Chains A and B, each alone.
Chain A
Amino acid sequence: MNQENFSPQESLQVIESMIGKVKTSYHDTGVGPILWGCVVTICSIVSYFAHVYKHPQWFAIWLLTLVAVVPQIVISIKEKKEKKFVTHNDIVSGAVWTTFGFSMMVISMIENWGRLHIHSSIYMLIYGIPTIITGWVCNVKSMIVGGILCWVFAISSVFVDYPYPFLFMAASAIAAWLIPGLLLNYKYRKLKAANV
């Protein structure tokens, strides 16, 4: 396959055939969703019975979610090794599920510290999610850093009382949006000036 004299129809056939080959090259095994579907179903049902039969110690079943992280990591590494290409969907779903997983972990930590009433920390945690996903998918490092800082401020703010969490919120907004926004705007102006 390397003829230079081929028709436009043949060109289109090559393009169509290659794009089709990528589409049929990989299918998700579904093992991850099955694992988490089972774990969360079991934990939720056991929690229901823990509440009904007044056995608070049964709520410890949720520790199973921590145990399930181990096979999930093994599955992810195995699937990554077997896959010879990375799709755009992989990047998006990787960013979404990683930020989701980390957020769940932080919420559990805050709940265990008995500080879930510091609502601003939850808001900062949520600020971080789309910021990191956008930075990850669009390859904007300042947004990734800003999103991580949001999470750092979210965790830090649970150790102080109102009104100080609002100052952490201001710092989150500066780190997640204002600074990346200014950097993007500077880059945009520079590109615009170069293209004039």
Chain B
Amino acid sequence: MFKELDPILHSQLRLAVMSLLISVREAEFTFLKEKTNATAGNLSVQINKLKDAGYIDVLKQFKDNYPQTICKITLKGVDAFELYVKALQSYMAPNTQ
């Protein structure tokens, strides 16, 4: 039986951001932008959606007089990502579920 995919994560850019953040402790906005090849505006919108869902924490601060945005996955985000991957597995090998 196919498991339902989390609609928050089932978006390429949001999934890309979560995949990057699950691999690190925290990352700067510029790093996420560079790796996803997204525009700043679009990335910002998607990051806010993930933040509103409680999947990531966003910290805005100043570094060398420049604004800096740091993103970090939350425990809720890790759980959601794990569930999403498990649900994906049910699509990959449905007979074994």
Partners in one complex: yes
Interface residues in A, total, Cβ within 8 A: 27
Contacts A1-B36, A11-B15 given: A19-B88 contact, CB under 8 Å?
no
B40 located at the interface, meaning its Cβ lies under 8 Å from any Cβ of chain A in the complex: no
> Could you say which residues of chain B place their CB within 8 Å of the CB of A81?
64
A12 located at the interface, meaning its Cβ lies under 8 Å from any Cβ of chain B in the complex: yes
Chain A 1-42, CB within 8 Å of chain B: the 1/0 string?
Answer: 111101011111011011101110100000000000000000
Q: Which residues A138-181 have CB closer than 8 A to chain B? A: none
Measured between C-beta atoms, what is the minimum distance from B15 to chain A in Å? 5
- How many B residues are at the interface, by size bracket? 20 to 34
On whether the beta carbons of A19 and B19 are closer than 8 Å, the reply is yes
B95 located at the interface, meaning its Cβ lies under 8 Å from any Cβ of chain A in the complex: no
* Assembly CA distance A105 to B12 (angstroms): 50
On whether the beta carbons of A2 and B13 are closer than 8 Å, the reply is yes
On whether the beta carbons of A14 and B23 are closer than 8 Å, the reply is no
On whether the beta carbons of A85 and B12 are closer than 8 Å, the reply is no
Contacts A85-B27, A85-B31, A86-B26 given: A18-B12 contact, CB under 8 Å?
no
Measured between C-beta atoms, what is the minimum distance from B11 to chain A in Å? 5
Do most interface residues of chain B lie in helix, strand or loop, or is the interface mixed? Answer: helix
Do most interface residues of chain A lie in helix, strand or loop, or is the interface mixed? Answer: helix
Chain A 40-60, CB within 8 Å of chain B: the 1/0 string?
Answer: 000000000000000000000
Measured between C-beta atoms, what is the minimum distance from A24 to chain B in Å? 10
Interface residues in chain B, defined as those with a beta carbon under 8 Å from any beta carbon in chain A:
5, 7, 10-16, 19-20, 22-28, 30-31, 34-38, 42, 46, 64, 84-85, 88, 91-92
* Other A-B pairs, 12, CB within 8 Å; known A11-B84, A84-B31, A85-B24: A1-B13, A4-B11, A8-B88, A11-B15, A12-B92, A14-B15, A18-B16, A18-B23, A85-B25, A85-B26, A86-B27, A88-B24
| A–B complex contacts, Cβ < 8 Å, 25 sampled | A1-B13, A2-B12, A2-B38, A2-B46, A3-B12, A4-B7, A6-B10, A8-B88, A11-B5, A11-B10, A12-B88, A14-B15, A17-B19, A19-B20, A19-B22, A19-B23, A22-B23, A23-B23, A81-B64, A84-B34, A85-B27, A85-B28, A86-B26, A86-B27, A87-B25
